[in-house]
Amino acid sequence: MKVKDVMTSDVKSCALGTNLAAAAKIMWDADCGAVPVIDDRGHVVGVITDRDICIAAATRPRSEGEIAVADVISRTLHACAPDDDVRTAMDKMKKQQVRRLPVIGTDGRLAGIVSLHDFAVQVRPTKNSDIRAEDVLETLVAITVPSRSRATVSA
The CATH number of the domain holding residue 18 is 3.10.580.10
State the pairing for strand pair 14-15/34-38: parallel
What pLDDT score was predicted for residue 73? 92
Q: What's residue 57's pLDDT? A: 92
Please answer whether residues 3 and 79 qualify as being in contact, where contact means their C-beta atoms are separated by less than 8 angstroms: no
- Amino acid in position 55: I
H-only helix segments in the chain: 20-30, 50-59, 86-96, 116-122, 133-143, 150-154
Single pTM value for the model = 0.85
User: Looking at residue 150, what is its pLDDT?
Assistant: 33
Position 59 in a domain:
yes
Residue 74 lies in a domain: yes
> Alpha-carbon distance 102 to 45, whole Å?
10
The count of domains in the chain is 1
Query: For residue 85, what are the domain limits?
Result: 3-145
d(CA 11, CA 26): 10
Task: Please count the residues of the chain.
Answer: 155
Residue 151 within any structural domain of the chain? no
**Residue 69 within a domain:** yes
pLDDT at residue 152 in the model:
43
Q: With respect to residue 150, please indicate whether it lies within any of the assigned structural domains.
A: no
Does residue 13 lie in a domain region? yes
Residues in the chain where the model's pLDDT stays below 50: 149-155
pLDDT of residue 127: 77
What pLDDT sits at residue 148?
Answer: 60
In a domain, 154, yes or no: no
Q: Look at residue 85 in the predicted model and tell me its pLDDT.
A: 96
